[in-house]
Amino acid sequence: MSRKPKRGYYVKGHFVAEGSELDLELKAELKGTTEKSKTDLKRESDQLQDLGEQLLTLRADLLAGLELGDKLMDALAEAKRITNFEGRRRQMQFIGKLMRLQDADTLQAALDFQHKGSAEEKLALHQAEQWRDRLIADDGALTEWLEVERAAGTTADPQHLRALIRQARKDAQATPQPHESLGTAVRHGKAYREIFQAVKATLATAAEAGADTSADPDDGH
């Protein structure tokens, strides 16, 4: 039984089958249109699905502010509940289709905002940990820290902070070291935690005031 020949045409010696991606692209060029090829549509669909995956990680308050509509919100909620791989894949394809009605730039801006906020929060926690450790380890760090407090305009009690530092040092000396008690995690007392909370609160205020909060001893102090 003979095979039915494909319908198409030749361009510069190359056969172009009707309905193929190249055929669609060539016809779009001839018409002077910006009609998208199947490849472009597939790439766009994949990008929208990836964006939908990222939306699943977006904070509830940011997600609510996007006003995505009930249909897309329900689809996202359903995707979080699906554990079956194939079921989730189909659900993300459905979400990708719904995403075509959304402004991708607005969605990406919300994701970027969350990422930036998370990075800034991590940096703030790291700075607070550095200051806490320096205050406990170095007497000279307290003078530098009081300068940060003054720049921030806070009214912390220096005597109370000194008392917390002394107590944190006592607690550290009373805690068994790893070589003395193998497998025992280091446990910090209440003073250690209170210093961290006080430092973190002051750093947040200082950041709003644009004050230098570096805990690096070589940073011009």
- pLDDT of res. 136: 92
Q: Which amino acid is residue 31, in one-letter code? A: K
166 and 95, same domain (yes or no): no
In tens digits, what is the pLDDT along the chain, a chain of 221 residues?
455 556 888 776 567 788 776 777 677 667 655 555 667 767 777 888 888 888 888 888 788 887 788 888 898 899 989 989 999 989 988 888 888 777 777 788 888 877 777 777 778 888 888 999 999 999 889 989 988 888 877 766 788 899 999 999 988 887 555 444 444 444 578 888 889 888 988 888 877 766 556 655 444 44
Distance CA 25, CA 33 (A): 10
**Residues 6+ away with beta carbon under 8 Å from 188:** 168, 171, 172, 175
CATH of the domain at 47: 1.10.60.30
Handedness of CA 197, 199, 200, 206 (dihedral sign): positive
204 and 132, same domain (yes or no): yes
**Residues 6+ away with beta carbon under 8 Å from 78:** 91
- pLDDT of res. 221: 43
Cβ pair 128, 145 in contact under 8 A: no
Task: Give me 93's structure tokens.
Answer: 């394809």
Domain boundary among 41, 72, 102: 102
Residue 215 located in a structural domain? no
Distance CA 135, CA 194 (A): 12
199 and 146, same domain (yes or no): yes
- pLDDT of res. 104: 76
- Tokens 């996007």 found at: 66
- pLDDT of res. 87: 92
Distance CA 24, CA 135 (A): 69
Residue 198 located in a structural domain? yes
Q: Identify the three-state secondary structure at position 8.
A: strand
Q: Number of structural domains, the chain?
A: 2
Q: What is the pTM of this model?
A: 0.46
50 and 85, same domain (yes or no): yes
* Residue 9 DSSP one-character state: E
User: Which residues share a beta bridge with 14?
Assistant: 11
Give the domain range for residue 135. 119-209
24 and 61, same domain (yes or no): yes
